[in-house]
Chains A and B, each alone.
Chain A
Amino acid sequence: SEMSKDLMPGPYPRTPEERAAAAKKYNMRVEDYEPYADDGFGYGDYPKLPDKSLHERDPWYQWDQPDLRHNWGEPMHWDFDMYIRNRVDTSPTPVPWHTMRKHFLVFLSTMLIMFGLGEIYPSYRPVGPKQYPFNDLYLERGGDPNKEPPVVTHYEI
């Protein structure tokens, strides 16, 4: 693009002067500017902003871009496209996360264990072989209508 090289992201800042220049480039205070750790992962001097989604930003403030809740020139989070309002939401929940996780896992494990037990040890009412009427469906099974069908009784007295 037409922007000069010193306005673009660069390598990890090593001296305090480079840090101050990078903070000024990204429109941040020098105290607020904190780059990602220099682990060789490809972040360079991009600032490490708090991992908060756009759901948490003030909905009533007059943003320059209201759908993205973003002001012109404000440094964007590295995972900005993940934290938009259609996607990941990190806003505080009424119930703490560990409580929700515990309740969910307890319910899920109970249901899975019960279903597993039901597969291993099935339980149903006692059943017998199916009984057909009309002398065990003699005519329907192709028996001779002129002959006397064999009498089938399914009971004992």
Chain B
Amino acid sequence: MAAGPPPTAAEAYRPNRYVSLPAELDPNTYDASPEKRRTEAERLAIRARLKRQYQLQLNNPNPPAIIEDPALVRWAYARTQNVYPTFRPTPKTSFLGALFAIGPILFWAAVFKVDRDRKEKLIQEGKYKRPFSVF
């Protein structure tokens, strides 16, 4: 089987969860097609509208005490109060819940029991040397 064409620089880089592809190697940052330009223009329109709202509040002669950011409020709400209503017990969530909530308790109970039983057996046989003995 003949080897394929050599990997491009972007493929040779292999970006993953911890590191992103540099912009110089990313084909998406190269020459923009009309669709790309239109999407960028739409994004810019949204950004400009939000900037205008913010600047109007900021440069108000009677500014409000706090200019609250709705994105921040939504972020905090989503991570705290919106988790329980949107949670649903599925096989995956039940398995992970059992693994991380019940698993450590059972594991450490077993570890301590086995360790204590071993020490008790050694003491009964008289082979255990007390570490902090006063004698």
Contacts and interface: CB of A to CB of B under 8 A. Distances in A.
A91 B18 CA distance: 8
Q: Tell me what chain A mostly uses at the interface: helix, strand, loop, or mixed.
A: loop
Q: Tell me what chain B mostly uses at the interface: helix, strand, loop, or mixed.
A: helix
A1 B23 CA distance: 40
Contacts of A80: 75
Interface stretch (A8-16, A106-114, A139-147): A8-16
Interface size class of A (residues with CB under 8 A): 35 or more
B60 interface: no
A29 B46 contact: yes
A41 B93 contact: yes
25 contacts: A1-B73, A10-B82, A28-B46, A29-B39, A39-B92, A40-B89, A40-B90, A42-B86, A42-B87, A43-B86, A46-B82, A71-B51, A71-B54, A73-B53, A73-B69, A73-B71, A74-B47, A75-B74, A76-B75, A80-B75, A91-B20, A92-B21, A96-B14, A97-B14, A98-B14
Interface of B: 12-23, 39, 42-43, 46-47, 50-51, 53-54, 67-75, 77-79, 82-90, 92-93
